[in-house]
Amino acid sequence: MTVKNLLVREIFDSRGEPTVEVCIVDGSGEEFFGQVPSGKSRGEREVFVLPPKAAKKAGELLNKKLRGKRFISITKFDRFLLKLDGTSDKKKFGGNVMLGASIAFTRGLAFEHKKEPWQILQKEFFPGKNIKRVPFIFSNVINGGVHANNDLDIQEYMIVVRIGRPVEKSVETLVGFYKKLGDFLGKRYKMKNLPIGDEGGYSLDFKNNFEPIHILGELIKKFRLRKDFQIGLDAAASGFYKGGWYMFAGARLSREELLKTYERYFRQAPMLVSVEDPFDENDGGGFAELLAAEKKKLIVGDDLTVTNPAAISAAGRGKLISGVIIKPNQIGTVSEACAAMKAAHKLGIKCIVSHRSGETADNFIIHLARAGGAYGVKIGAPVKERMSKFDELIRIYS
C-alpha cells in the first residue's frame, strides 16, 4: 500500500476525554482510519501517549516522512515507524499516533488485497493457524475502582459468556441479562436511575466487594444460564496498592491476606473463573502464589504485562499468569500487539483481546482477536459505543 497522506485528528472517547484518530489516504485516494482508545487505570510500563496538540504535530512530521512511500506488510510499515521514533517508549511519535497509523495501514493493506483486516493479520502474523474458535466474551456489568464513584475496590465484575450458535443469540442473551440485572439492582436498592461507570456497568454502592459476585451468581442460576455464563473479575489491584499495602474493604491487607480473600471468593463462588491483576503490577510474587494455589482458574496479567512480548514471556516463564490481556495501545503498534499474542501462545497463556475504559467506535480489536485465535474478547457492557464491537463480533464470527 502506498501512503499518499496521513492526518491525525482529535476525537473524544466514551469518557469525553480527547484521543486521536489517524487517517491514511492511499494512492487511489481511498481513506482508512484507526481510532485509538484511552485508559484510565493505565499500567506504569505502557508506552507514551502524546496529548492531542502534540499528536497533531507528530502526525505532520510523520506525514512528511511517509508520503509517497510504499509498504508491502504491516511489519515493514511498523518497523519504519519504530525506527523513525527511535525511543524505547514511543516518546517522539506517541504510542497513540503510531497505533492509529498502524491500524489505518492494516485496513488499507487489507483493502488492497480485497481481504478483511483479520485475514490480512492472520496471513502475516498467524500463518497456518486458521483458528475458528469463537472467543469467550468478557463483559463488564458492574463497575468499581477508578471506573466508578462507588465503594467497590474491585474495578470490574464481568460475565464470561461462552458463545454458541448463532453468535447473535449469545449477544442477545447477554444484553437481556444486563437489563435484568439493572431491574434487579434497581428494585433491591430502590433506585430509579442506576449510576453507570466508565465501561457501561452499574456502579452503585454495594455491601462489600463480594456482594456483586454473589448477585451475579444468583441471577445466573435464576435465569438458567449456568451452562454458558461464568464470572470474571478485574481487581486492577495497582489502583488500591498504597505504600506496600492493599487498601481493601476499609482495611490494610498484606499480600497474604489479599491472597486469602481471593481464595475465599473462589471457594464461595465456584462460578468465578478468572481474576485479572489480582496484585500490584510490581508484586509478581502475589500473582505466582495465587496461580500456584488456583491452578484451574485464569490468573490474568494486564498492568503487569502491558501487551509487551518480553514482559509476557517473563510472566509466563515465572508462572505468574495463565491468561493475558492484549490491549494494542499499551504497546503502540499492530505488529507488536501480534508479537505479544505469539509470546503468550508459545507458553500456553490464554489471550484476551481488550478494549479500554475510554472507547471509540473502532472495532479493530475484534479483528485482532479473530486473527490470533484469542481465548476471549473483553468489551465492557453491551451498551452505546461498545455495541459496535459486539456487532463486528457477530459479523466476523458467524
- Give residues with Cβ within 8 angstroms of 96, minimum separation 6: 19, 20, 36, 38, 49, 50, 55, 329, 332
- Please name the residue that has the C-alpha cell 515465572: 318
b vs e for 242-279, b when ≥16 Cβ sit within 10 Å of the residue's Cβ? eeeebebeeeebebeebbebbeebbeebebbbbbbbbb
The 35-64 contact track toward ligand PGA, x by CB under 6 A, reads ----xxxx----------------------
**Smaller CB distance to Zn ion: residue 38 or 173?**
38
356 binds, among ligand PGA, Zn ion, none (CB under 5 to 8 A by kind): ligand PGA
Q: Contacting ligand PGA (CB under 6 A), which of 173, 322, 357, 360?
A: 357
Q: Which three cell numbers stand for residue 53?
A: 496538540
CB of 277 to Zn ion, least distance (A): 5
Which of 4, 327, 350, 389 is an active site residue? 327
280 binds ligand PGA (CB under 6 A): no
* # chain residues binding ligand PGA, by CB under 6 A: 9
User: DSSP H helical segments within the chain, as ranges?
Assistant: 52-66, 74-85, 95-112, 117-125, 167-188, 211-222, 255-268, 284-293, 309-317, 328-331, 334-346, 364-371, 387-397
Which of 21, 199, 336, 359 is an active site residue? 199
Rg (CA), the chain: 21
CB atoms within 10 A of CB 347: 15
234 binds ligand PGA (CB under 6 A): yes
Whether 227 sits among the annotated catalytic residues: the reply is no
Whether 327 sits among the annotated catalytic residues: the reply is yes
CB of 301 to ligand PGA, least distance (A): 11
Q: Which three cell numbers stand for residue 113?
A: 488485497
**Using CB under 5 A as the criterion, which residues of the chain lie in contact with Zn ion when the complex forms?**
234, 276, 302
**Smaller CB distance to Zn ion: residue 23 or 49?**
49
319 binds ligand PGA (CB under 6 A): no
What is the distance between the terminal CA atoms of the chain, rounded to a whole angstrom?
29
Q: Contacting ligand PGA (CB under 6 A), which of 20, 236, 312, 341?
A: 236
> Which residue numbers are catalytic?
199, 327
Binding site for ligand PGA (CB under 6 A): 39-42, 234, 236, 302, 356-357
